[in-house]
Each structure stands twice: as structure tokens, then as C-alpha cells.
Structure 1
Amino acid sequence: METPHAKLNAKRMLYQHIADQGIVSKAGLLSAFTIATSTMNRLLDELVSEGRIRESGLGSSTGGRKPILYEINPDYGFTIGLEISRFYSSLGLFDMQMNAKSFVRWRMDEDMTPERFVQHTARQINALLKDHGLSRQAVIGIGIGAVGPLDRSSGIILHPLHFRASGWSNVPICRMIQEACGIPACLDNGANTALIGEHWALRRDKVQHMLYVHAGVSLRSAMMSHGRIIHGSVDMEGSIGQMIIQTDGPRLQEHGNYGALEAFVSVLALEKQAQADAKLKGDTFGSAYRAQPDRIRYDALLRELELGNPGVLELFLRAARHLGIGLANLINVFHPETIILGGTLIGSHERFYQTAIEVALRSTYYYPEYTPVFSKGSLKEDAVATGAALAARERFTFAG
């Protein structure tokens, strides 16, 4: 006899398959699952009666009756994706077919403590729901993609670095969001949810093995194999930054490995190198930044890069070459089909992006017989929140 747990799992798998395919026939479902026709009919009828899926017209006939097509019901509920990052955060409202209804974004300044962040998020959610005439009960869940390290199962942000505001250690963010909004929440690394979002955007291409690398204030990465995120026994998001690429090389701060990738490729690394160059080369070099050497910041580097400062361009290209080495190391271990690159460094200059790829490919062991596809992604700055909303859809559609 089929147990309630087994039946729920079967319905969940059917629902996820229909969601991934968009529109599917019963014959397509029967070919994808080892389920008897009578059982499939019963499960589909239940999913329709529950409002989770709906009939979507008739397919083409192959000689008999035209098949009924099914799709998930976009109005069954809504999900919210929330990104928590160091520079800015964003919030997206989606229907069940992942059509974005609204997006809002705000800066993470010195006053954005966890408590104020949660209050601000709750106000933004209330405003979105009011704009769309929705009740809180219409939202099945909130997915959160946050800077790590974190404890996913407990919903806690642990000890992230470089937040401008204080208090971002041991933050029970899921509990705080749920108490403030009255909506259940789940947590994952922002790199993971970004990859989930970009994989969904490429779902028609059926890509199974993907790598995501974010180069910004720090380096963050995520991997996907056979369409599923790889979760290690410990939080891995920032591990790429600790990859040693130069024996006895510099250390970024008072933590981490010497000669680690983050000491060459990160906003902080670029700032430190620019400050050192300004001190070494004197006022003629440092005056371009309109600041004393110790006060040179990334915004000034971007301004000079846009103005065509050759010294600053070389600073960025040097970092790009180091990033290419790090990417090659990951490629040679994992052999992904597609590599998504994101973050402020990737978007800083087209030559940064192209240089990192060129160096990575030159150091890829099986190249050119094996050539992965590089991309800046389809969703770009919306990837983290979109993937978080997808994670919430998977987590909460059949919850309770």
C-alpha cells in the first residue's frame, strides 16, 4: 500500500518536473516516471483539484484523442526571494511560474544592522503585497540568499566579513524574518541561489554541470552537478578565495591563507594594491584618485578605469589574470559545461572579463577538445533573489 509520505514525494516530484518543463502531457510524464497509468491519473487529478497544477489545452494528436497538457498554476501562490549582500540587498516577488511581479533594491549602509534590515524588509514586503492586492497568506514562503558563512539548517548567518553595519554575527535571520513578516523562510548561500537562478534561466538547454563564481568584496562560488547544488559538510561559499595560487604570497588580512586567490582578486585586494602603488610612485600617481593613499577606495578605481587610466586598467587586468588561474584550477577538477561569472569585478570592464576567460582556457588541461561555455548569466544582479525564490517554491509548496 502506498504510504502518505511516498504519495507526497511522488506528487512533489511530478510537480517539480512539470515546473521545469513548463507544459507537459500525461504521456510525457509517464515516460519520465515509472508510475502506473492509474496512479498517474489519480495524482494528476489531485494536483489539479488542489490548485497546484492546471490543464493547459490539448496537444497534437498522433492518431487518437488529443492529449491533455498540464502546467503549474501560476496563481496557486507566490514566493519571495531576498538577497542579503554587503553592498546592497534586493527583494523579488514571483508567481509560481517564476514570473517576476516586482523587484526592489536598497543599499546596505552603516546603519543597516540586522534589526533594521528585517524591519526594512518587512516594510518592503508589505508594500509589494499591497501594490498587488495580495494577502500574506498568498505567499507560501521566503527564500533568502545571503553572504556566508551560515548554518542553512538552522537559518543562521554566522560570521560574515566586511558588512558596513555592526551586528552581523550569529543572526537567526529566518526566525527574524518569519516573526516580522508572518511568512516561513529558508536560507542558503547567495552563490548557491544565484546558480539555482541561472540554471533555471537555462533550463531549456538542459545544462547539468555548472560553476558560478562571484568576484566582488570577496570571492564566492557554487557548483552544480546533475542539476543539483553541491552542498559540502561545511559552508563552502568562500572557499575559492582561500585557494593558494602563489606559494609564500601575500595575505589579504589577519586571516586566511598566504598566497590565496582573494589576496589578488577582490575589491579589498585591488584597494590595497592601489594604495601601495600610490605610496611607492608618489603624488603624481595618487593624485588621480583625489584621496590620500590610505583612503583610496574601489569607487575611485572604477572612476579612473572608466576614464581610461592605463595604470588602473593594468591593476584590474593583473587581477583578471589571477582570477583566470583560479578558474582553471576549478575547471580542471570539476569540468563544468557552463561557467557563470558575476560580481562587480566581472562587470568593471569587458577586458577584465575576457582576460580572465583567456587565461582560464589556456590553463585548462583538455582544451580545446573540452571547452566550457562562459557567461555573465541571464539574470545578472537578479540571480540571487530569483534563485532564492525558486528554493522557497521547492521547499514550501508541499510544506505542512
Structure 2
Amino acid sequence: MIKMNERIPGRNAKEIYKLIRTQGVALKADLLEKSKLTVSTLTRILEELISLGLILEAGFGESTGGRKPILYKINPAYAHVFGLDISRTYSKLILFDLDLKIVDTVRWSMTTSMTPEKLINEIIYAVQTMMTNHNIALASCLGMGIGAVGPLDRTQGIIRSPKYFPANGWSNVPICQMIEEPFGFPVMLDNGTNTSILGEYWASSQYRYQHLLYVTAGVGIRSSMMTSGKVVYGAVDMEGSIGQMIIQTDGPPPREPGGNYGSLESYVSIYALEQKAQSLLKSGRKCMLNELVYAPEDVRFHHLLYALNEKDPLAVEIFTQSATCFGIGLANVLNILHPEHVILGGPLIDTNDLFFAIAKEVALEKTYDSPSYSVEFSRGKLGSDGIATGAAVMMINQLTE
């Protein structure tokens, strides 16, 4: 196997490759201006990158009087890379080329029988099958990036102790080692929110945002921050700590010991919505949910979504209250971090328009110095592929490290 740091020879060549990759298509004049290299040095590097198959000539730019300038782009077929998403409800493996075009994908439900050992066996088989089906040699595979539910030990490649996995055994899992051993290619691990924000950053054609915030709401609430194209890491892995932000000190008790009373997560999570609906039904409230379940304890998120889509008043009330709390929590974060752009994702955001709209409205209303501090909100571009895409980006980035 070719070592990752040896695929591109020399620091200058790595910088030129990074510039071309970031721009998508680059003119030699632009590369000269941004790299500060001499014409002869840049010409030599471009020729070497072409000979190694790392970049391609991509036609000609507009002439300014002389010959038309040559355009350069990365060669998407130089290598392939795997991105793996390990979440509580499903896991997904995607095979990408270097342009992040999806070549193949497979998804598994995270059932009560999906232990780490079973999932790893499925992943190994899927990798072998994909490489065979698409005629990919091991030497032309950069490796695999993994975005997973935390807490994690990124440096050791270990999934430490995530909560609410359906199957047992998801504690202190050396996931990177277990995948590296049968293949020999490098494997990297990071939190799913961190890989999501990487994926969304590279999915933007202009990379115009310097300060990005990503927040996902579903089983819990997780967040990630990016500045100047790099993920911001704290002293410890605490991607879920945003969910423990206190909204009301005498609010609902935490779901798990050690959590805060009245935390954001106790108002904004699938579990919180289910608990709220069950409580209201037990108090005698009548609504469409009475027709969907035998008893209040049977209410689940999909019932709430169905009722919401049918504009059931109680379902609308529950989602509105939760989205309002989410907006307040987001405003608190905005007042501290001041991002330019906020990307919201996860089941509570992706499954309906109401939640996103209310959360955004409340967040903007409660943000200090609004509207002079203008922050943009979006749902992102990648949807459910975001974690795996960003995990692949994490590996591709290693080419120029």
C-alpha cells in the first residue's frame, strides 16, 4: 500500500493540489498568484501531478489576447475512498470517487441484533464486494473515514460509550483497528456532526462561509463548529453537551442520570416529544393520536409525524412548543459563537417544515443585535448522506496534510 503522505511528493505539490481541489477548476495564473511559486517550479509540479494521475487538464480558459490558458482539475478516478456513517437507527457505507461522486452504497438497520462484531463483518463483506464489482485495486483505495455517535477517542479510533444503541456491546469498540486489519488501508474516526459539517462545507460550490455551525436534533442534540474550513475541537469530546444547556431550571428531569433538569434535550428530542404526547393523552386530551394507538404509552415518533402531516391540533402544538425551545437554545449558542451560517439536520428537522421554520424564526428573534448580526440558516445539501460524505472528505484531506 502507498502511504497517504507519500502519494503527493513534496509540500509545494500538496499545496498546488489543494488549491486545484478547492477551486474545482484552476488556471495556471491563479495558481501562480496564490502559491507565490516561480513559473518554472509551478510548471514542473503540474507536470509531475499529471504524470502521477493526480490531476488532469480540463480544457482551456478564456484568452486575454494570446493562447488560451490551460485549466486544471483533480482526477476523480485517481483513487476511491469509503465513508461510513454509524448512527443509532442505521449505518451506511458509501464508496466515492475523489469528486465525491457516489459510486456505490449499502445501508443496514441498527436492530437489537446489530452488535459491533456483526456490523464489522457486514462492512468487510460490503467493502470487498464493492471493490470487486467496480474493479478497484486495494492500492487505489485511500481508506475509510467513519462518522459515528460519540463519545469517541478519535486518536485511538475507539467508540467509547454511546447511548441508546439498540444492540449491546457498543462500548470501547476499537472500530478503526477492526477495519484496518483485514484491508491494510488507513481508517479514521470522528463524530458524525464533525464529519457532517465537513461534508456540507465541501458540498458548497463557493466555500464562502468562514464560520459554520451544524446542529442535529433527533434522539439527542449534537453540534459541531467550523472556522476557515477546519473543524473546531474542544479539550474533550462533548458533541452532545449542547443538549444539556439548561432552558428551565425546574423543568423536566433528565432522561439519564447525570443530565440537567430542564435541559434543551428534555424539550427537543424524539423521546421528549413522545413523552409530551403520552402525558397529554393521559390527561384526557383528545386528538388523532387516540385513533392511532391503543394506549398513550404506545405513541411513537412516526405517529406524531403522521398526525402533524394531517394538521392535528395537538401534534402541531407539541412540535411548535419543541421547536420554540430549540430556537431559544440556538439563540443562546449564536450569542456565544456568532457563526455566519447555521446548518440544521436530523430527524426533527428533516421530516417536516414546521419545526425548521419555527426554530429559525425564534432563534433570529432572540439573537442579540439582530438584525444587524445577520446569520443564515439552511438544512444543508447532503441530507442523510452528510455523515458518510464528510467522513470520506476527512480521508481525502489527508492527501495534503
Could you tell me the TM-score, scaled by structure 2's length? 0.92
Supply the distance in 1 between the matched residues of 2:253 and 2:64 (Cα, whole angstroms).
66
CA distance in 1: counterparts of 2:44 and 2:253, whole angstroms: 61
Residues 208, 226 of structure 1: 8 Å contact kept: yes
Supply the distance in 1 between the matched residues of 2:151 and 2:32 (Cα, whole angstroms).
42
Question: Could you say if the C-alpha distance between residues 284 and 317 of structure 1 is closer, same or farther in structure 2, counting changes exceeding 3 Å?
Answer: closer
Alignment partners' CA distance in 2, 1:180 and 1:261: 42
1:1-400 equivalences in 2 (<5 Å): 8-253=10-255, 254-281=257-284, 287-395=290-398, 397=399
State whether residues 213 and 342 of structure 1, in contact with CA within 8 Å, keep that contact through their aligned partners in structure 2: yes
What letter corresponds to residue 370 of structure 2 in structure 1?
A: Y
8 A contact 2:331–2:367 mirrored in 1: yes
Asked if the contact 2:116/2:170 (under 8 Å) is kept, the reply is yes
Cα distance change, pair 87–48 in 1 and its aligned pair in 2 (3 A):
same
Q: Distance in 2 between matches of 1:158 and 1:361?
A: 36
CA change 1:303–1:117 in 2 (3 A) is same
Taking a change above 3 Å as real, the CA distance of residues 205 and 154 of structure 1, as seen in their structure-2 partners, is: closer
Deviations 1:90-119 (A, max 9, x none): 111111121221222221111111111111
5+ long unaligned stretches in structure 1: none
CA contact (8 A) 1:252 1:269 kept: no
- Which 10-residue stretch deviates more, 279-288 or 29-38? 279-288
Structure 1 position 17, deviation (Å): 1.6
Give the secondary structure class of the aligned counterpart of 2:348: coil
1:279, 1:286 within 8 Å by CA — same for their partners in 2?
no
Unaligned runs of 5+ in 2: 1-5
Between the aligned partners of 1:282 and 1:130, the Cα distance in structure 2 is: 57
RMSD (Å) for aligned C-alpha atoms: 2.1
Q: Could you give the per-residue CA deviations for residues 133-171 of structure 1, whole angstroms, max 9, x where no partner exists?
A: 223332111110111110111111111101001111111
C-alpha distance in 1, partners of 2:327/2:79? Answer: 43
CA change 1:313–1:139 in 2 (3 A) is same
More off after superposition, 24-33 vs 283-292 = 283-292
Matches of 1:8 and 1:269 in 2, distance apart?
Answer: 53
How far apart, CA to CA, are the structure 1 residues paired with 2:289 and 2:59?
67
8 A Cα contact 1:80 1:91, kept in partner: yes
Distance in 1 (alpha carbons) for counterparts of 2:9 and 2:318: 58
**Shift in Å at residue 283 of structure 1?**
8.3
Asked if the contact 1:20–1:203 (Cα under 8 Å) also holds between the matched residues in 2, the reply is no
Q: Could you tell me how far apart the structure 2 residues matched to 1:124 and 1:243 are?
A: 40
Letter in 1 for 2:282: K
May I ask how many residue pairs the two structures share in their alignment?
A: 394
| Displacement after TM superposition at 1:285 (Å) | 8.1
Give the secondary-structure state (helix, strand or coil) at the position aligned to 1:89.
Answer: strand
Q: Which amino acid aligns with 1:323?
A: F
Instruction: Write out per-residue CA displacement over residues 272-305 of structure 1, whole angstroms, 9 at most, x where no aligned residue.
Output: 2222223222787863341433343222222322
- Percent identity, please: 47
Q: Distance in 2 between matches of 1:295 and 1:181?
A: 45
